[in-house]
Each structure stands twice: as C-alpha cells, then as structure tokens.
Amino acid sequence: MDDLRIETPAMGVRLLVLCRSARRNALSRDLIGRLHAGVAAAKAEGARAIVIAADGPAFSAGADFADLDGSVADLDFDAEMSGLTASLRDESLVSFAAISGACIGAGLDLALACDFRVAAPDAVFALPAVRMGILYNPKRLEQILPLMSHAIALRLLLLAERLDFADARAGGIVTHVTEQPGADAVRARALELAAAAVALPSQAQEAAKAFAASFGRPGFDAMDWEAWRRRLLDSDQRQEALQKARITK
C-alpha cells in the first residue's frame, strides 16, 4: 500500500493522509519526499488549504529509525525534513494538522509547520531528542519554540516529557480541538476548518499569512506592507466582500 493517500474532499482543499499505520506513521525519507511533492502539487493545482492527517491510532511516531544511522550523516534527514516544513510555512496555502494519538519528534515538527493544529483528546505530544542523545535541529527550534510557552518548551526539550492534550492546549501547541477521540473525528474537524478558510477572500488571506510569517523577523517594518494593503483596498475581492457585508447586515 502507498505510504501517502491524496484526496480532494472539497473545492480548494487538499487532504494528505499518512498511511503507515503499521509503523505508527513514522516519517521515512521517502514519505517526507512524497509529502513535500504533495504540498507543491496542491499549490500548483490551485488548492488554497491543505490538511495533513493520518490513518490508524497515531498521527506520527516521528522519524523512521530505519533511515537514521546515529551519525552526522543524519543531517541529510534534517535537510529533507526542513525542506518539507519550509514548504508548509512559506506557501500561501492555509495548512492544518489533524492529530490524534502520538505526535512525536519529527511528527510534532511536521504538525508545528502547519498554521493550525487540530487535536483530539487522545493526542499526546513529545520531542524526545535529548532522550536520543542529540539536540533537535537548531534552525527548526528557532522557528517552533515561539509557538509555545517557555515552560512547555523546557518540558519537551530538557525532560523529553510526553504532554497530554490538556497541557499541549494550554501551552499553545494545539489551536483547535474535537470532543471525540480518534482519527476520523479530528480529520472531519480539520476539513471543516479548511472549507471555512477557502471561503474567505484569497488575496487578503495570503497577505495576512505572509505578514504573520514576517512579523518579528530582523528588519521587519509594518510600513513595508502598506503598498500591499493599498492594492487590496482597490481589489475586486474587496468590493465583493463589501457587497456581501452590506447584503447580510
């Protein structure tokens, strides 16, 4: 069976499903490459939102140890993983990770690269690099640590703790929740959110994602975005949105 299933459940929405449940959806280098290609294809084919979900009881148990040899050569795995996460962060696609069960190591890295993380009550999170005798990819840590509280980051990095749903939600890792456990429930909720996302004006949404990604970086200046805002003010999408607002008010 293929390790990745790709579906288009609604107009503008692309669903990528990890299908390695026998391996707890561990991320092999081949699967990382397929995910990267899937994100690129979604963008090229006009999708505006992407949902990454998983079959089975785990979102992802992390890196596939069969692709690691415990030496500096494992930097090649880091490079491929960083390429995937960069594609999710930098594309205009609005991205959602649908998480139930274990979301560990590289699996958590993948989820944190998405704009939103939709989690079921059975979700658990960990970044056990210290347990494996390494420091996690420093460039990725620089990007993901601001997404969570300092206390939660220390529990993940220094103690290699497994965080339950409640702690991950309180610490900023989880952005949306489902009441029911399991992959089906969390996937349905993520797809619902994705459909709502693509119903919004695309140009303003793209500008907002780009602004949020740039905010706080060296050299950031809000005034640099004024020209983009002016273009939006004069856009057809702006006029259509105003017309809809007048009708429904």
**31-60 exposure pattern, b = at least 16 Cβ within 10 A, e = fewer:** bbebbbebbeebbeeebbbbbbbbbbebbb
What distance in Å separates the CA atoms of residue 105 and residue 156, rounded to the nearest whole number? 10
The pLDDT, as a whole number, for residue 248 is 79
Return the percentage of the chain with pLDDT > 90, whole number: 88
User: In the 8-state DSSP scheme, what is residue 56?
Assistant: S
Q: Is 107 helix (H, G, I), strand (E, B) or coil?
A: helix
**Please, what sign has the CA dihedral across residues 161, 165, 170, 176?**
positive
Please report, rounded to a whole number, the percentage of residues in the chain having pLDDT higher than 70: 99
Q: What is the pLDDT of residue 249?
A: 67
Q: What angle do CA 30, 34, 40 make, to 5 degrees?
A: 145
Straight-line distance from the first to the last Cα atom of the chain, in angstroms, rounded to the nearest whole number: 51
Per-residue DSSP letter, 98: E
Mean pLDDT, range 158-163, rounded to an integer: 97
Between 153 and 1, where is the model more confident?
A: 153
- pTM of the full predicted structure? 0.95
Residue 186, pLDDT > 70, answer yes
pLDDT, one tens digit per residue, over 53-83 is 999 999 999 999 998 888 888 899 999 999 9
Across the chain, what does the average pLDDT equal? 95
**Interval 175-203 mean pLDDT:** 97
**d(C-alpha 211, C-alpha 222), whole Å:** 9
pLDDT of 143 strictly over 80: yes
**In 21-62, which ranges are E strands?**
49-54
pLDDT for 149:
97
Q: Distance between CA 158 and CA 200 in Å, rounded?
A: 41
